[in-house]
Structure 1
Amino acid sequence: MIQWVGETLFATTVLMLLILAIRPFVADRFGARAAYLLWLAPALRMILPPLPADMFGDRAAAVQDVVVVLVGSSSPSLQSASATGGGTAWLILSLTIWLGGAVLFFGRHWLSYVQFSRNIAADGQALFAAGAIPVTASSAVSSPIALGVFGKSVVVPKDFAYRYDAAEQRLAVAHELTHHDRHDVPVNFAALAILALHWWNPVAHYAHRAFRLDQEAACDAIVLHGATPEERHAYGSALFKSAMGGVPLAACAMGATTTLKVRLRRIVSGNAEHRLAKPGAALAALLVLGGVAATASGSVKRAVDPAIEIPKALVLGGGMLNVSTPVESAIHDERNCPDAQAHAAARARAKAMDIAEAERGEAEAARIEADQAVAEAREEAMTAAVEARTGAHEALIEAQMQLREAEAEAAIAMRDAEATRAAAVRSMKISCSNNNDGSVISIEGGEDASGRKQMQIMVCGDGARMGRAQIIDALRTTREQIAHDQMLPEQTRAHVLAALDRQIASVRPLPKPSLQ
């Protein structure tokens, strides 16, 4: 049954695609009615039961009324059946979703049709009767429309008598009555049911729109059969005035907007009817029968050896073996039975696949662990590199700060020494000639404008030299500290030491002055 459902859905989809491909050619060559008949193919295929594989043979009758009871069996067939429990669950779930979607789809459109009919009945006004079919006016529609499966009716807009002239009114009502004559409303419900079973299939939705177009075009061809150009013009005008959207799928609206453009073009060009309508209908019938037969489902049955008599009742697994007819050469050694060998081979393959799958899982787990280890090692290396760069940067900053401090101290000492040297030079010019041992002397001056006394102290000889010696000692002390600082990178330490060496070399001791 499940296989038949799948084959039927697939076959009807193939037929829909085939009809969508050939319907333009059929409509142009043989008319719209022939194209409309093509849609019988998927409808008939949808309800076609499986065909027997051997329709004329009686060998299949050899296996009938057979009851097999397995008691406590552990045969491969039971094992394989239990192994498919998971697949059965998924199959049941898929069928539930498919049927649930079909019910919801059909129910939604059915409720839309019922509500639409109730809205029409709420303010409907009877106008006249066309035979047994009443014609009603309602503000719920803007186009003539055919409704009802059993209680048939034609509904027109409230302004039907004012918006349409007499010829347009006659042709519009004739169009809707033709729908009822051809039983198009129940046909539309059947098409809606097929579409509901294909609710997930975009091909079916597109095919349904094409089916409705061909249905309306076939109705146009019937109404315009033998019509004059004036009647064609009036029919096209009525069709244009009847443009209406939002109609339930099962209703037959004259001016459905989805088909209006194509129908008007056919009416204007005169292709609404065709002189080859009857040959086209015959061709369509052949295509329908051929398509249905080509896609029919068949049940394949294994031929039964007539030499083996099948028992009526067979009890396995303990107790007695009761058969109504003798069983000769029906029981074979399992090792020699092709089915048993096939089951054994299948079990071996399944076991090998399980082992391979387990090994594949272990290999995948090992690969994942290796990838994690590599990622952790890479992360640790990156962290160490960042920490090393951070430490080197901090050490460089600290060395630069020490260098700036040393340079500042050296600059202060140099300024002091320079001041001392200048004073010593002036002092030597003034009084060092009178001081043979280079000691510090004092010279008093007069009073300034404010009455304050001024005194100038001059340093000669060793005093000036002592200032430069202090600078050199400070620079050398700093150099020694930096040279023994292991926290600094080698390159940074060498750069700082070279700068200090240049500072020490630039501060030369003063030569010992010669006494005059």
Structure 2
Amino acid sequence: MTDMLHGLLQASGWATLAVLLLGAVRPLLQRLGGAALVYRSWWLLPLVLIAPLLPSPVPAFTDSAPLLALGTVLHVAVVPTDAVLWPTLLIALWAAGAACVALAQWRGQRRFERALGTLQPRADGSWQASADPGLPALVGLLDPRVVVGPDFDQRFAPVERDLILQHEHQHRRHGDHWANAAVALLRCLFWFHPLLPWATRRFLFDQELACDARTVDPHPALRRIYANALLKAQLVHPVAPMACHWRSQPMLKERIGMLKEHKRNVVPRWSGQLLVLGLCVGISTMAWASQRAADTQTRITAEPAAGTDGSSSPDAATVGAQAKLMSPPAYPKSAFEQNISGKVVLRVNVDAEGRTSGVSVISSTPAGVFDAVSIAAAQKWTFEPARRDGKPVASALQIPLTFALDQPEPAPAP
């Protein structure tokens, strides 16, 4: 539970940094590359959320003899067990909020699709609805369709209809419906994030601006006609969570203003591309590195000691077991309250598949205080199995664990 909460908080922190950074550099990106570059910069958000999930290399646990003595000092800041229920309650609250947001979005999508009425295929490849809850739009995820309203032919001139259909096909060609689905998922997972509503609106606005630019850039002479088509359509109905709407009233002024801009030269566009690439790579690498640093704090790490079987050096054909995941044991509440420190020496048997096959206590000081938590933690450890002549073999490790509480520094004498 605590790992899940830590992951959510870490992801929220990186999402906050990404959103604030995108908001800060947006005017510069707009000048360098226009709406398409601004929309492309939103790749930073999923990248910083995915980067901490990527595996990081774990330092080798041992590369010496099959039986090794490895040591580590475990400094633990322990929360009393009375507070253990808080992570469970917080996870339950988060899950309830995510379920409510998912239900609300599903109902909104279903309401929109039902309000379309009967769909009839058209000769231009689109579909015509019997009602207009907010059309034209690209509707659907796995099989998206361009759906127009019942008065589409009467409201728009032929050239305007062609531009509108090109706009919706641009959405489908660039996978904007999948991007909207990803945004819907993020709204469920991070429903508690205060910046998410603004980021969602800004992302959808940038998506429409980028699609407008892709549609009219090949036809600069049709910009005025395109703007007139926008003015003819004012969206007054609630939008669906996963639909790319042609009409978007809150940003109408910004969309028309974008149409007045001229194309930029190639050099600034390439400069903007490099800037976006640098931001994505740099911030994502920082997120990945922070996950690696967190791993080294939560896993037991130790330096290999000399072999305990009397050999001065291991056989060249033998490679000892190596750690994959070694979560530290919990500090017992009674020992924490009484400020007790101690040491436990474990013998851990590792099978040929790298799993812990047996754990026994060789010695413990004080006796019996830290035995149970040490054995419980060791039973969950996983390893890269030892190898002899290139084949995995069973092995044993002798691992001393030192339990020590972090002591506060004494106050300076007056």
Count of aligned pairs: 317
Instruction: Determine if the alignment matches structure 1 residue 19 to structure 2 residue 22.
Output: yes
Give yes or no for contact 2:128–2:148 (8 Å, CA) kept in 1: yes
Report what 2:169 is aligned to.
Answer: 177
The root-mean-square deviation of aligned C-alpha atoms, in Å, is 3.4
Once residues 400 and 28 of structure 2 are traced to their aligned partners in structure 1, the CA distance between those partners, rounded to angstroms, is 62
Give yes or no for contact 1:127–1:137 (8 Å, CA) kept in 2: no
Give the Å deviation of 1:34.
Answer: 1.0
Instruction: Determine if the alignment matches structure 1 residue 10 to structure 2 residue 2.
Output: no
Identity of aligned residues (%): 24
Residue number among 88, 92, 100 corresponding to 2:88 in the alignment: 92
Give the Å deviation of 1:262.
Answer: 0.8
Alignment of 1:201-350 (within 5 A): 201-229=193-221, 231-245=222-236, 246-270=238-262, 275=266, 276-296=268-288, 297-298=291-292, 299-300=295-296, 301-307=299-305, 311-312=347-348, 313-316=358-361, 325=396, 327=398, 339-340=403-404, 342=405, 345=407
3-state DSSP of counterpart to 1:304: coil
Point out the structure with max Rg over C-alpha: 1
Give yes or no for contact 1:168–1:235 (8 Å, CA) kept in 2: yes
Report what 1:458 is aligned to.
Answer: none
Give yes or no for contact 2:112–2:133 (8 Å, CA) kept in 1: no
Report what 1:123 is aligned to.
Answer: 118
Once residues 65 and 264 of structure 1 are traced to their aligned partners in structure 2, the CA distance between those partners, rounded to angstroms, is 73
- The amino acid that maps onto 2:152 is F
Alignment CA distance shift 1:262-1:84 (3 Å) = same
Report what 2:312 is aligned to.
Answer: none
Alignment of 1:471-490 (within 5 A): none
Give yes or no for contact 1:60–1:303 (8 Å, CA) kept in 2: no
Alignment CA distance shift 1:93-1:155 (3 Å) = same
Once residues 138 and 21 of structure 1 are traced to their aligned partners in structure 2, the CA distance between those partners, rounded to angstroms, is 44
Give the Å deviation of 1:116.
Answer: 1.0
Once residues 65 and 159 of structure 1 are traced to their aligned partners in structure 2, the CA distance between those partners, rounded to angstroms, is 80
User: What TM-score, normalized to structure 2?
Assistant: 0.68
User: What TM-score, normalized to structure 1?
Assistant: 0.55
Report what 1:112 is aligned to.
Answer: 108
3-state DSSP of counterpart to 2:121: strand
Residue number among 136, 153, 165 corresponding to 2:145 in the alignment: 153
Give the Å deviation of 1:232.
Answer: 0.4
- The amino acid that maps onto 2:141 is V
If each structure's strand is expressed as a fraction of its own residues, which one has the higher value?
2
Deviations 1:144-184 (A, max 9, x none): 11111122211112111111111111101110111011111
Once residues 65 and 102 of structure 1 are traced to their aligned partners in structure 2, the CA distance between those partners, rounded to angstroms, is 48
Alignment CA distance shift 1:324-1:187 (3 Å) = closer
Give the Å deviation of 1:278.
Answer: 5.0
Give the Å deviation of 1:4.
Answer: 2.4
Flag structure 1 segments of 5+ consecutive residues without an equivalent: 67-76, 350-516
Once residues 300 and 397 of structure 2 are traced to their aligned partners in structure 1, the CA distance between those partners, rounded to angstroms, is 22
3-state DSSP of counterpart to 2:347: coil
If each structure's helix is expressed as a fraction of its own residues, which one has the higher value?
1
Give yes or no for contact 2:234–2:247 (8 Å, CA) kept in 1: yes
Give yes or no for contact 1:213–1:259 (8 Å, CA) kept in 2: yes
